[in-house]
Amino acid sequence: MTTQGMCACMHSFNNHPATIILFSAVAPTVPSGLKSGGGSTPLTVTITNNKRDTIYYWWVNYSGNTVLYGSIAPGATIRQPTYSTHPWIVAANNGDLITQVTLHTSNMIVVVE
């Protein structure tokens, strides 16, 4: 079964009203047993996209399901606040897994080539 995630992100620029940006991508398959734990330490994952295509980043929730958080354009970098023991998946638009990370005690920088 192919599922899709949809994300609505609100952005405001130079004190102009917020703009809602909608996008969708095929949800990646979550590796067996991967899910968020009860970590409470605030951390940040930084993801840089050096690929030619847009990539998507997904949080794996407490039930082991993916939640689409956003897209990263070629050459762009995002900083995503998160918590220790929360896994993140980076995937292509078609759902192909690029990488997965779980932060435990320190911030992490991920560069996707």
> Residue 77 maps to which CATH number?
2.60.40.780
Q: Does 76 reside within a domain?
A: yes
Please give the biggest Cα pair distance in the chain: 44
End-to-end CA distance of the chain: 28
CA–CA distance, 31 with 48 (Å, rounded to integer): 22
| Overall domain count for the chain | 1
Q: Does 11 reside within a domain?
A: no
Q: Does 37 reside within a domain?
A: yes
Give the residues across from 9 on adjacent strands. Answer: 21
The model's pTM = 0.80
Q: Does 9 reside within a domain?
A: no
The arithmetic mean of pLDDT across residues 93-106, rounded, is: 93
Range of the domain at 91: 28-112
Q: Quote the pLDDT of residue 25.
A: 83
Q: Quote the pLDDT of residue 3.
A: 47
Which pLDDT tens digit goes with each residue over 19-70? 455 566 888 999 999 999 998 999 999 999 999 999 999 999 999 999 999 9
| Whether residue 9 has pLDDT greater than 50 | no
* Count of Cβ atoms closer than 10 Å to residue 56 Cβ: 26
Q: Does 54 reside within a domain?
A: yes
